[in-house]
Amino acid sequence: MTQSMHVVVVVEDEPGIRDVLRVLLVAARYRVVEAENAARGEVEARAHKPDLLLVDLGLPDRDGVELIRRVREFSPVPIIVLSARTTEEQKIAALDAGADDYVTKPFASAELLARVRAALRRGATGEARSAHVVLGELTVDLGRREVLGAPDVHLTPLEFRVLESLARHPGAIVKQDALIREVWGPGQVGDSRSLRVCIRNLRTKLEPDPARPRYLVTEAGLGYRLRVDGD
């Protein structure tokens, strides 16, 4: 993927700073989508599925930390905070909410672009790690949508999407609502029946003993965990 294909959503309420960021990023061959508040930022993050978010914390409708939490419910996209807040507590709050990096204003253009490149590299590495899911003797190729080593095993598009969502966070708990929101859409949050059926079908197809799942593990009251060998 070339830089010209990378989409960056800039969530910033000050038009002057948005202008500076747009000129800087376009000159570096990124495609820029602008949002003037948190609500618009969430809409653009859902609609464009960007490669990176630049988020100011002092937004007019709600705090940028809340926006970061909301985005983290449906996307692992790299997020860089760009803010005038400089205290350690404020930085920790943003990072704990799910931000990947923190740049204080005023910022140096060269440093910001270096941080952007680094975040995009980390994001690309994460995608590469999750391209193949090894479950014992089976390997699921998420890119080609096929199960290697088991020609008779066929996953539905829905099952692939659920597995893909879990594979972005190997070994970590993915909350039930986050899975439903990402795979079925925000309108289905709260309706867990389809997710339970999908997980049951995945276990039937991929687990050595579906009654005692080794890889697709339920975390009661929280969600699901994709456990890989070595966890």
Model pLDDT, residue 93 = 85
pLDDT along the chain (231 residues), means of 10: 72 96 95 96 92 95 94 87 86 84 90 89 60 86 81 86 85 86 78 92 95 93 80 49
Tokens of 21: 């960021």
CA distance 203 to 221: 19
CA distance 228 to 195: 20
Instruction: Determine phi and psi for 168, rounding to 5 degrees.
Output: -70, -15
Model pLDDT, residue 118 = 84
Model pLDDT, residue 22 = 96
Strands (E), 12-51: 31-35
CA distance 87 to 187: 38
> What strands, in cross-sheet order, belong to the sheet with 223-226?
173-175, 223-226, 216-219
Model pLDDT, residue 50 = 92
Task: Answer whether CATH 3.40.50.2300 is correct for domain 3-128.
Answer: yes
Q: In the CATH hierarchy, which top-level class contains the domain 130-226?
A: mainly alpha
Quickly tell me which residue has 């005038």 as its tokens: 84
Model pLDDT, residue 1 = 39
Tokens of 138: 């089976």
Model pLDDT, residue 2 = 41
- Residue 206: CB partners within 8 Å, gap ≥ 6? 135, 138, 140, 147, 153, 215, 216
Residue 108 burial class via C-beta count within 10 angstroms: exposed 0-12, middle 13-18, buried 19 and up: exposed
Domain boundaries, the chain: 3-128, 130-226
Model pLDDT, residue 229 = 59
186 vs 61, 76, 180, 190, CA distance in Å? 21, 16, 7, 9
Model pLDDT, residue 30 = 95
